[in-house]
Structure formats: C-alpha cells, structure tokens
Structure 1
Amino acid sequence: MKVEHLKRNWPLLLAAAFALVLPLSTQAEDIDIFVGSSGGGGANVLVIIDNTSNWADNAQHWPGGEYQGQAELEALIAVIPSLRDNINVGLMLFNQNGSGNCCSAGYIRFAMQKMDANGRNALLGELNNILTNFASPLNKAASNASYSMALFDAFKYFGGYTSPAHATDNVAGAPQNATHFGPAVFATPASTFNRPDLLGYTNGTYTVYAPPTAAGDVCGGKNYIIFIGNGFPNTDTSPSENMKTFLEGVGGSSTQIWMPVLTTTTSTAYTNLGNSSACYNNNGAGLSSCSTANAGTCGSSYDACSCGTPTTATGCSGSKVKYSLLGGVTTTTVTPTGTTAPPS
C-alpha cells in the first residue's frame, strides 16, 4: 500500500470510516453488550482521539511542520460538515493522569449528538477550540496513557450493559461499579478532565455517564468507535496497570491480539519548479540561505521545498547565482510481510 500526502488523505480516510458506518447501521447485528436489547435510530459513532503528548510532537515530520494531532483535528473539521442527521457523533479524549496514577482513560469532550445543523455546528465549535488551543498542556495526556483504559471508558459510556456471553439475551452484567459493568466512570479524577461535556454525564460530578439514547428505528441504533491513535499503545498489564483483570471482570478475553508485521520505506521525489527570484552565494552557505528563504514557496501540492542545482548566474552580480527551486513529494510505502507478532 502506498500512502502519499498523508496529511491530505486524512479527510478521505475519515470520510470512508463514517461512510462504512451508515450501511452497517441497518444490519441486524447485536452489540447489546453496551446498552442491552433495544431498537435504534441513526448509528452512534464515538470518535476517540489519542491526545497523549506524542500528538503534539514533531518527530513524525508531518508536511509543513504541522503536528500529527493538528492534522487529525483538521481532517475531522473537514469531514463533519458532510454528515447528516442519520448519524450521531460524540468525541472522547484521554484525561491527563499518567497510567501509573490510575486512571488515564477517557472522558467525554463532546456528548453524542445528532449531526443536524445544530449538532454539526456544536461539534465543529469544540474541535476548533481544541485546534486553537492545541499547544495547551490541558489538551495533552501523558505519553504513558493506556488505550485499554480509554476503551473501557468507551464501553461504559455506551452503557456497559453486559458481557459478550449475554450479548443477545438481555441479561445485565453484575456487579455495577466503576471497574465492572454499568455507566459509572472508570477514569479518575474528574479534575483531570479538560472541558468535559456535561451532557455526557448524569451531573457535574462527572462520575456517571449518561449513555447515548437509543432511538426507535428497529433497523438501526448500533454503536461504533473510530479510534485515531498515534502508534502502538503502552503496556496495560502489571506492574503498570492490570487491565487484564478489569477486562476479564466483564467477561472479556484478555488474549493478546497479534498484529500484521509491516515494512515501511519513505522516499521523496523532487520536481524542478524554476529558479529562485533572489541571488545567493555559490557555496554551501548560499544554498542553505536559499532553502531557508524559499521553504514555503513551492505551494501546498508539495511536502517539502528546497533549493538545489542546476544554478544560473543570469540576473546576478559578482559570483552569485540563482538556485533551482525543488518541490518534493514524499511517498511512504507500507508492505505486509505476511507474518504477525504481538505489539512491542
């Protein structure tokens, strides 16, 4: 698989994810482990964004110097206006605790709402607030946060109704508390939630979720999660956090899921876009000055912009030259090896 202009493809990937939800929401599959047997209306889609500190790190070298989390937020902002009122969308982020200080799980930043005009505008407002305040420490969780904890809170936000063994017989799970079944919040403390949406909770203590309402259309009403991560998660077994115990406590399987092993190569192809408008010294320092001065002149179609050869002395005095402007397009190729292994 080739991934070109990854930042620009984010909206397409998210649009495809939402598009898959719509036909699936009319199928008669039961996922009543969340809310018990019920009818349903439009699909409920909970978007979980990994806002651990890595999302504001420039180690990923995203085009234009943008951080990964910014690209993810901009992609959501681009896609949300295309949604309609046959789908409900909510947003969950990680709270600020580290996994060594239980529990850096998930909290509701935007409660599930129908994507009519009002819902879309409200969600866009919250996404833009996060984007505007992207650098704020309040919008970052610890790098050692646990994906399993966030997903456990997602289970409980959807109602935490029962176990896989009782997914189709409407038998509620027990006991009901923060670490087992029911809508009691797993993430603690509430003081580490940044701008939690009160509509996602029963009251201002933020200790019990108000699960999304199931609508009356017998053909729909299914729940889905779109999880946007920033790499493989940290360990969630002892001595860090023993999520194995919590998962097995609600009848889940704690067997490690092996992942496909992939090889990744990255290359950049350059196109000569003409000469620089200014003249520079014909040496390494001049070349560096040209690249710095023209870093943003190649346009949004290119991932990189720099100066190089050939050069021309036309229009320059002394020994100075004009360098070629080179627009670079980066291509990342991901190739399956045909093998699997546990994440490490």
Structure 2
Amino acid sequence: MAGLRGPQEQLTHPVRRVHIPGSGEAWLVVSREVARAALTDPRLRNDIRHSASWRSDGGHALGRNMLQSDPPQHTRLRKLVAGHFTPQRVAGLRPRVEEIAEELIAVLPRRGTADLVARYALPLPVTVICDLLGVPVEDRTAFHAWSNELVMPTSQEAAAAAATALTGCLTELTGREGTLLGDLAHGPDAPDSDELLGMAFLLLVAGHETTVNLISATLHNLLTHPEQHQLLRDTPDLTEAAVEETLRHDAPVHTTAFRFAAEPLDLAGTSIAAGDAVLVSLAAASRDPLYFPDPDRFDITRRPQGHLGFGHGLHHCLGAPLARLEASVAVRLLLHHRPALALATEPAELTWRTSTLLRGLAALPVRLG
C-alpha cells in the first residue's frame, strides 16, 4: 500500500488516501489515537451495503457473519457465542492444547530441519478449532485449504470453488448436536441458516488462520533476536510477554476489514465522504512512536499494553483468549523440548504471505538440534 513513508508521516498524516490492489481507493488510518477513535465511531459501519461502490457480494459470500455486520445484528450474533470464548472457558482448554502441542513435538525429528509452519504452527490451532466445531479428522486438511483460499484467493474461480465446498461441509456440521455449531443450531434464539453458516465460517477462519501467524511470528522473532531468545530460555515466565510483544510488533491481522462511512464525517481533520471505504492499520497503530518508544524494536520485557493486535471496540477479537493460550503453550513447550532450535535459512529468504488483511510466514524452516 502506497501512502505511508515513516514515523513522521504517521504522526502528521494519520489518515492517508491509498489504493488497495483489487479493491480500489480507501482511507488508511495509521496512528493509534485515530485508530481507536475510528474503531468506536458508529458512523463507520462494517456492512458492505454502506459502500458507495457496492453492487453484489461477488457470488460466493458465506452467510452473514459478525465481522460484516453492525448492531443490533452484530450484538445478537456475538452474544450467541461469546460464552464459549470467555477467559474461564478457554482456560479449561489448556490441557487439550498442551496435549496437541506435545503430540506434534513428539513426531518432529530429533535432528535435521523441519518447517515449523507446516509441522507445528498450523496443525495446532487447526486441531483445536476443528475439535470445537466438530470437524472430522479426515476433513481438516481440506478445511484449511478452503479457508486459506477464501482469505487469500489465488483466483476468482478457485475462491468460488472453495466457497462451494466449504459451504457444503459447514452446513452438514450445523446439523450435528453436541458440537458448538450443532448446539447453536438447536439452541434457543438460534440464528437463521444464513447467519449460522456465516458464524461457522468466521469461527473456522478466525479460529486458526490468525493463530497460525501468531505462533510462527513469535518463533520467528525469537530466532531472529538471539538475545531475546536467550532471555526467554533463562526466564520461561516471559513466554506470555513474548506473545504479547509479537502481537504488537508483528500483528497477525494487519488491518481491519473494510468499514464504510454511513454519512459524511471528519476523521483527524480528513473529510470522509458517505460511502467511502476506511481501513484501520492495526499493525501501524501498534508501532505508533507516541505510545511505544523505539517501536520497531522487539523486546519481550516491554509490557506493550494498549497495542491493537486484536482490534478495539465492538469488533475486538472474540477469540483473543484462545489465541493467547495457544500461542503461549506452543512457544513454551517447543522451546522446552527443543532448546537448540535455530533458523535454518537467512531471514531475508523467508516468504511472507501477501494480503492486506493478514500477515504470516509461508514457511519457517528450522534446525532442530
């Protein structure tokens, strides 16, 4: 995205006009103060029908979900699942998350190299969210491939095919009682079929795509900052702090979903017309030098309270407690069992998946010992 050139630009021009490939013109918010204001401004709506350029959903949208809705629909949908993701409920998942991590570590080779994305950072959250949703073991690889295609499409045809396949499987899952989706479908105040499909899709994608990126980014940061890696080995109690600093330093979700001005408004001195698209850069806001001294430095002792890695306001990430738990367990156990872990390639040779919304490593090759 063009339009942001450095910290001074971030401070003096917190709202910039940018061109998003494939989506067109939008306003990009890059400072923390303005980002928090935008994320709580009721005039900025998530429903795409407020967009001046909206014509259709392209033919392969999966239901109606919380991310693309506003109150009161958003409030009702979020309330239906919020109880499944409270800190107390998530804490009860710790033994299962630890079990999955231990199983994945046990099958890693003792020597040589391995890709930690494919062998560890990906299967751990995929297994957890598929457990919760009741996805059969034999379908889990396909589920990830379909959701990945929809988040970062390779072509319109491939995205449409993935949407069709995922719709069929998710629809089947909602008919099974005893799972999160089945209980929603058969419980009081059950959402309609379109809302249930959207809920299933959002939980599946948000429940693993972002956590894969968080786990791999935390490990990448530690392996490319040897002094921080050593500090964590000496002080394992800093594991949660390392995850939190990664959320600030390398936000797995780079920007929010598009928001649209329901009416003309002023944002930090910038006039936004009704129907204009607005993106909030969570990554830039979390490196705002006014709030985070030396913001480009990765420091696990920083205590980065106030970062926007999980968003802010009504759409603050519902799964934040689960993502934090999975990442901290994954990092702590891997470093405990593989203390000689080291990057197996030059950092500049690593490939980051390109997406306006998400940022994550395609692979993380490491030497295991």
TM range, smaller chain: under 0.3
- TM-score, with structure 1 as normaliser: 0.27
**Which has the higher relative contact order, 1 or 2, with Cα contacts under 8 A spaced 6 or more apart?**
2
TM-score by length of 2: 0.25
Bigger share in strand = 1
